[in-house]
Amino acid sequence: MSSSILKKNLLKEIDSTVESYLGAFLDPIGDRIRGTFRSLSYKVSSSLEDDIDIDELFAGVETPRVDEKECIIRVTGLSKVFGPQPQKGLKLVKNGMSKQDLRESTGLTLGLYDNSFDVYKGELFVLMGLSGSGKSTLERCLNRLIDPTEGSIKIEGLEITDLERDELIEVRRKKMGMVFQNFALLPHRTVMENVGFGLEIQGEPLDIYTERCQNAIDMVGLKGYEDAYPSGLSGGMKQRVGLARALASDPDILLMDEAFSALDPLIRKDMQDELIQIRKKMGKTIIFVTHDLDEALKLGDRIALMNDGVIVQIGTPAEIVNNPVDDYVNRFVQNVNQERVDELMRKDAKRKADAEKRKKLKEMVKKKQKAAPPMGGA
Ligand SMILES: Nc1ncnc2c1ncn2[C@@H]1O[C@H](COP(=O)(O)OP(=O)(O)OP(=O)(O)O)[C@@H](O)[C@H]1O
Ligand SMILES: [Mg+2]
């Protein structure tokens, strides 16, 4: 075989490896993948006709990928009124009635009013606001644990509000995992059995079920506790089980409602760090409800601030602390010190730079694929 054929075959091989990483693993891009790309870069860079240096391109890419062009959740005009004849209540609100007046005159409660937003694939999107502002209601509308009164929820284009019960259960099982504040573990089941609960009722075969559970348990740092019962675990460990249970069915979207709020501060910090690591490895889209500003600033790619059932501002942590839209948002962020603001701005700049680098890599691979001759050509 001539050396030019050998070289082309090698290029093909590199192409398909890069492509498979792009397709399957660029989502959870993190340290591991970066390492893989780095070692690949030595092979690829020697065969490139242009002067793009992949090693330089990927140096320092650490933030999880968020694809701003790929919207995974699109919410439009979402409203919820609790109580009998909610449509009537919604009409009154549309005509200008306040939440308080609605409650006093009709007994109905306005949970959400006319919310529209997109969540991007791979994003950690925080819902924040005072108690009663509608965070849980909004999150629970996404998987229809609460049925909205009006509006549209599309998950990868699928209209969630139109789904029949069976279809909804399927979407909940496969697409969305939920982590609750109070752990919601079954006391008579071991860690392994709790983590596998969802897979078991989905009827997954035992070998797949066991492997997935073990992976999820390892991922949250509970290796060795597979046979323990919840009563023998600390709060932090229980929440790790809750997280592993949500991860075991490998959903695209994780819904987390005050998941760390019941933990003491040090354990809470550990769990936040753990979540950051899990994100880097797994690239899930996460909707994270919290009323804690520090947690929101630390974890969020973007934060939606809610007041009386309405999202009043959406922005990156740096945008929210630098440009609060009103007094309500300002009250949350006014005590953030300058050092933290600077750190958030650096983080923001890094996110943008990493996204740019990923875009360049994609373009470069596309260009190279176009230029490559067909497999086995002379
Ligand atoms: N099942 C329900 N029936 C009647 N009203 C409800 C119901 N669930 C929520 N609400 C009302 O809807 C509004 C939003 O509540 P929600 O639980 O979403 O707030 P939250 O932001 O999650 O608050 P918290 O931080 O306390 O959890 C509140 O006024 C609440 O009283
Ligand atoms: Mg809540």
Mutate to test the pocket of ligand 1, among 108, 135, 181, 310 (most ligand atoms within 8 A of CB): 135
d(CA 111, ligand 1 centre) in Å: 6
Q: Is the pLDDT of residue 110 over 80?
A: yes
Q: What is the DSSP string of 71-116?
A: EEEEEEEEEEEESSSHHHHHHHHHTT--HHHHHHHH--EEEEEEEE
Amino acid at 15: D
Q: Which atom of ligand 1 is nearest to the CA of 134?
A: 18
Amino acid at 217: I
Report the atom number in ligand 1 closest to the C-alpha of 99: 29
CA–CA dist 241, 250 (Å, integer): 14
- Which residue's CA lies nearest to atom 12 of ligand 1? 111
Q: Which ligand is nearest to the CA of 130?
A: 1
Q: Which contacts of 200-209 are long-range, i.e. CB under 8 A and separated by 24 or more positions?
A: 202/173, 202/249
Ligand in closest contact with the CA of 132: 1
Residues near ligand 1 with C-beta < 6 Å? 82, 109, 111, 129, 131-137, 291
Q: Mutation test of ligand 1: which of 79, 81, 82, 258 has the most ligand atoms closer than 8 Å to its C-beta?
A: 82
pLDDT-derived band at 209 (thresholds 50, 70, 90) equals confident
Name the residue with higher pLDDT: 297 or 208: 297
Q: How far is the CA of 134 from the centre of ligand 1 (A)?
A: 6
CA 132 to ligand 1 center in whole angstroms: 5
Output the CA torsion sign for 132, 138, 143, 145: positive
Distance CA 89, CA 148 (A): 13
pLDDT tens digit sequence for 182-206: 778 999 999 999 999 888 887 888 8
Model pLDDT for residues 142-162, shown as the tens digit of each residue: 999 999 999 999 999 999 999
pLDDT per residue over 14-42, tens digit each?
655 555 555 444 444 454 555 555 555 44
> Looking at 160-283, which runs of residues are DSSP E strands?
176-179, 253-257
Assess whether pLDDT exceeds 70 at residue 70: yes
Q: Which residues contact 239 (CB under 8 A, 6 or more apart)?
A: 179, 183, 259, 260, 262, 263, 271
191 C-beta neighbours (distance < 10 Å), count: 26
CA 287 from chain centre, in angstroms, equals 6
Gap between the Cα atoms of 255 and 139, Å rounded:
7
Distance CA 359, CA 294 (A): 30
- Record the tokens describing residue 290, joined without a space: 């919290």
Q: How far is the CA of 310 from the centre of ligand 1 (A)?
A: 13
Per-residue model confidence (pLDDT) at position 66: 75
